[in-house]
Structure 1
Amino acid sequence: MFASLGMYDLPELAAATNAWWHGLASHFAAQGFRDLPAELNRAGDPVDRLKAPGLIFGQTCGFPLTHKLKDHVQLLATPRYAVPGCAGATYVSWIVVRADDPAKTPADLRGYRVAYNDDGSQSGYNTLRAMIAPIAQGRPFLGGLIESGAHRNSLALVKAGKADVAALDCVTFALIARLAPAELQGIRVLRASAAAPGLPYVTAAATSAAEVRRLQAGIAAAFADPALDTTRATLRLDGCEILPRSAYDVIPAMEQAAIAAGYPQLA
């Protein structure tokens, strides 16, 4: 059995992320779960590891939920975050450029070099593709692509002038603004992307319906636990919602709309 919270696991937040897992685990134990892992699994790719046997609790991006992981995990709950760009259990990406860049609208990004975390990301890729597709009209639009591996790396590439634009998850952006504000100096937000449901908590597809209900009860108890107030505040957690799986249909719909517009990939 293992647990993974790899989505917002910035190094500066490792202690708080560990504390959140320990709090969750204590409430899962109160729901009758035994042999819960003492520590989070941080080995390997944060999406691929959720395919491994024994997943009891994890967090993923919405795009892998509807694509790469769709047959491997099931939805538990969607956490809310108290940061600009989040509304209830939804979030946006901030489209960022350098502060001195003249671009005013997405149409002004023609020929720009894009840094993106990976092409399986809702916040860093799918949402930017959806924004550009109607403008591109089926033709190449961008001046180059750099796969950075992480939102923070994309930000650094734009700041250094090695890329011109990136789409950053608004929660990551807010965490960086608090923990490492110098990384945002010389950067401005051009606009917000379309909203989508936030990064969900998941469990293995093999987890029984009864166990899912007990996990959801444990999650709710952890969010209500006053002993975890400081931990939740550090991680900007502000509650959670149990959404139907269909709430995430907006994500493949964005992809399909871009494909229908003749823009299947950022290009």
Structure 2
Amino acid sequence: MQQTISLPMYRPQSHETRALLQAIQLLLAERNIVARLAFPAADLLAHWRGSDVLLSQTCGFPLMTALPDVQVVGGFHYSAPGCEGVNYRSALVVRLEDQNKTLADFFGRRAACNAVDSQSGFNALRKMVTPLAQEGAFFSQVVISGSHRQSLVEIVNQRADLAAIDCVTLALLRRDEPQRMRELAVIGYTPSTPGLPLITAAQTPRETVQGLREVLHTLVTSARYAERCASTLISGFSTLPREAYRVLLS
């Protein structure tokens, strides 16, 4: 069984992500570890649970609720506004007409969320509105959009009023789709939490896990790969234990 590496969370089909994966693949090959690139388009949970996963990137909430057996390798640092070291947060995004409002002002209005198992788009926002809610739900409607980008489309098209958007995704969209982003504003941020975990299968030997950490450290510190990292907003890497993500369940 050939092992796979994937980065399915931030623009997985982009040229920049593919180039970054190829850099990781080359660094692994230099250690005589052969892995093919994978680009899972659906059923990410099944992909992450696969015994062939040498390296992938998941979300912290499914890590703690649906992936009890995978091993955490660590996490990338990102240069996007809202990131600090391995931690990240979500921006509360609204239409320009609502830019002077606070989160409390959106009681009874509509939210868009990328998925109900998303830390950045759902769980973080749910934690923020729970203390603000009166009896019943805070929002009158929650649209499950399927992606952060689509959540923003829902807001622009006035089918939703607010969304919590992963700050890395937001920075990438500001860079790559500036025209759409001019119609939107940020009114706040969710609390900082550990960013997207890099994982490996439960069966991966301890020495291989350590080798993966060394490869990722080389990736983010070598001038050879500086351009590829910068194009994906990656600025560093830290080893991180699974226990660091328990805060997401509190």
Scaled by the length of structure 2, the TM-score of the pair is: 0.95
Residue 27 (structure 1) aligns with: 27
**Matches of 2:141 and 2:189, distance apart in 1:** 21
Shift in alpha-carbon separation, 1:56–1:111, aligned structure 2, 3 A: same
CA deviation after TM superposition for structure 1 residue 218, in Å: 1.2
What does residue range 12-161 of structure 1 map to in structure 2 within 5 Å?
Answer: 14-33=14-33, 35-37=34-36, 39-71=37-69, 73-101=70-98, 104-137=101-134, 139-161=136-158
Which has the higher mean CA deviation after the structures are superposed, 217-226 or 126-135?
217-226
**Matches of 1:183 and 1:3, distance apart in 2:** 32
CA deviation after TM superposition for structure 1 residue 10, in Å: 5.3
Secondary structure, in 3 states, of the residue corresponding to 2:98?
Answer: coil
Secondary structure, in 3 states, of the residue corresponding to 1:146?
Answer: strand
Q: Which of 8, 33, 36 is the aligned partner of 1:6?
A: 8
- Runs of 5+ in structure 2 lacking a partner? none
Contact in 2 for aligned 1:18/1:40 (Cα 8 Å): no
What does residue range 187-202 of structure 1 map to in structure 2 within 5 Å?
Answer: 187-202=184-199
Secondary structure, in 3 states, of the residue corresponding to 1:223?
Answer: helix
Contact in 1 for aligned 2:99/2:186 (Cα 8 Å): no
Q: Which of 229, 233, 237 is the aligned partner of 2:234?
A: 237
Q: Which amino acid aligns with 2:163?
A: A
Contact in 2 for aligned 1:177/1:184 (Cα 8 Å): yes
Residues 24-75 of structure 1, C-alpha deviations (whole Å, 9 max, x = no match): 1121222331x311x333342334311122111100111111111222x110
**Matches of 2:10 and 2:214, distance apart in 1:** 23
Which has the higher mean CA deviation after the structures are superposed, 155-164 or 242-251?
242-251
Shift in alpha-carbon separation, 1:102–1:235, aligned structure 2, 3 A: closer
Contact in 2 for aligned 1:115/1:146 (Cα 8 Å): yes
CA deviation after TM superposition for structure 1 residue 92, in Å: 0.7
Shift in alpha-carbon separation, 1:138–1:246, aligned structure 2, 3 A: farther
- Runs of 5+ in structure 1 lacking a partner? 254-267
Contact in 2 for aligned 1:31/1:215 (Cα 8 Å): no
CA deviation after TM superposition for structure 1 residue 130, in Å: 0.3
Q: Structure 1 stretches (4+) deviating beyond 6 angstroms? A: none
Contact in 2 for aligned 1:112/1:143 (Cα 8 Å): yes
Q: Which amino acid aligns with 2:119?
A: Q
Residue 210 (structure 2) aligns with: 213
**Matches of 1:69 and 1:88, distance apart in 2:** 24
**Matches of 1:98 and 1:209, distance apart in 2:** 48
Contact in 1 for aligned 2:128/2:190 (Cα 8 Å): yes
Contact in 2 for aligned 1:64/1:70 (Cα 8 Å): no
| RMSD over equivalenced CA pairs, Å | 1.4
Secondary structure, in 3 states, of the residue corresponding to 2:94?
Answer: strand
Identity of aligned residues (%): 35
Scaled by the length of structure 1, the TM-score of the pair is: 0.89
Q: Which amino acid aligns with 2:42?
A: G
Which has the higher mean CA deviation after the structures are superposed, 169-178 or 183-192?
183-192
Contact in 1 for aligned 2:73/2:241 (Cα 8 Å): no
CA deviation after TM superposition for structure 1 residue 140, in Å: 1.8
Contact in 1 for aligned 2:93/2:187 (Cα 8 Å): yes
Q: 1:246 aligned to 2:248?
A: no
